[in-house]
Structure 1
Amino acid sequence: MTLRVRSAAVLGAALLLPLGCAGPGRTEAAPSGRYTGGGVTVELRLDAAGASPRLLRATFTPQEPGFHLYSVDLPDGGVSGLGIPTRLGLNGSLAAAGAPTADRPLLTVSPSGLGVALPVYPDGPVTLTVPVRGTGTGPAGAVISYGACSAQRCLVPVVRQVVPLDPS
């Protein structure tokens, strides 16, 4: 495989802060949920109620070195059926108030002999951040999808997995 770095847009100051660093005027998010599957651990952090804007951060960490995740820019269904896009959504009493953004630059992977270019993140963890808004009271969940691959193999993808969150 060959990797070509594609320029990435500036993500904004909130995304450049390390995970767990609240920044000026922001309440630090406690772990709000965790899921492990498909060779990846996903840790979710939801800002405390009252934060403005309220953010949900999901850090996707491959369990083995040399694995990357597909980008949120990958279309549903992949490219020519290849790749599982990384998705971060919400259900229940929380809804997304914008599109997820990533803290890592976008790369393009072109698997030999397949004639496609797939948008991925660099090997290792990637954090997606999405602004959220309340839609009522009651339970809420993050809805995650992703696929992790290395240069040699891909792991079993996770599609539309719901991870319960504490929305309070």
Structure 2
Amino acid sequence: MRWTVLLLATFLTGCGPGQSPATARFTAGDVDVSIAATADMVKVTFRPTRPGFHIYSLDLPPGGLGIPTRVGVRAGLKATGAPSANKAERQLDLPPLGEKLAVYPDGPVTVSLPVQRTDGTAQIVVSYGACSRSVCLPPVIDRTTTMPLPA
């Protein structure tokens, strides 16, 4: 009985692991972006809208070909670790340029960033770009989404 009351109280107060994240969505640069944020984790899913397109890797060096994918936070959240992707990067061969580009496989990739809540409203900042073997789309740089965090 005690456990039932404790679980019910946790559920009704919105605390604990069952808490729903704050969410937001937008489309920019031919990529659908979904953001889910809780007091301890931000997850951003990047989904190219065109078949055969890839998202650039988190580990792409700055100043080179393509733009590295970035997920960061401001106002309301503080990063407590490094971002990580749910897919392994691969090298996309670009013969016309004589280059290889670090990308994620076709389709969606989710980047997770461990965070700590510092206020009730968060700003999630993303930068990314998408490409295929023959076309690179204009990058999205420092797109900021402001969202209230769950209590």
TM-score (norm 1): 0.74
More helix by percentage: 2
- 1:129–1:42 distance in 2 versus 1, CA, 3 Å: same
TM-score (norm 2): 0.82
For structure 2, which runs of at least 5 residues remain unmatched after alignment? 1-15
Report the equivalent of 2:112: 129
Q: Distance in 2 between matches of 1:138 and 1:56?
A: 14
Report the equivalent of 2:75: 92
Which portions of structure 1, spanning 4 or more consecutive aligned residues, are displaced by more than 2 angstroms?
25-31, 113-117
1:114 positional shift: 2.4
Cα RMSD between the aligned structures? 1.7
The answer (yes or no) to whether the contact 2:22–2:148 under 8 Å persists in 1 is: no
Identity of aligned residues (%): 44
1:70 aligns with 2:52: no
More strand by percentage: 2
For structure 1, which runs of at least 5 residues remain unmatched after alignment? 1-24
Map 1:19-34 → 2, pairs under 5 A: 26-27=17-18, 29-34=20-25
- 1:38–1:134 distance in 2 versus 1, CA, 3 Å: same
Aligned pair count reads: 135
The answer (yes or no) to whether the contact 1:140–1:164 under 8 Å persists in 2 is: yes
Which of the pair has more CA radius of gyration? 2
Report the equivalent of 2:26: 35
1:148 positional shift: 0.5
Report the equivalent of 1:145: 127
The answer (yes or no) to whether the contact 1:46–1:56 under 8 Å persists in 2 is: yes
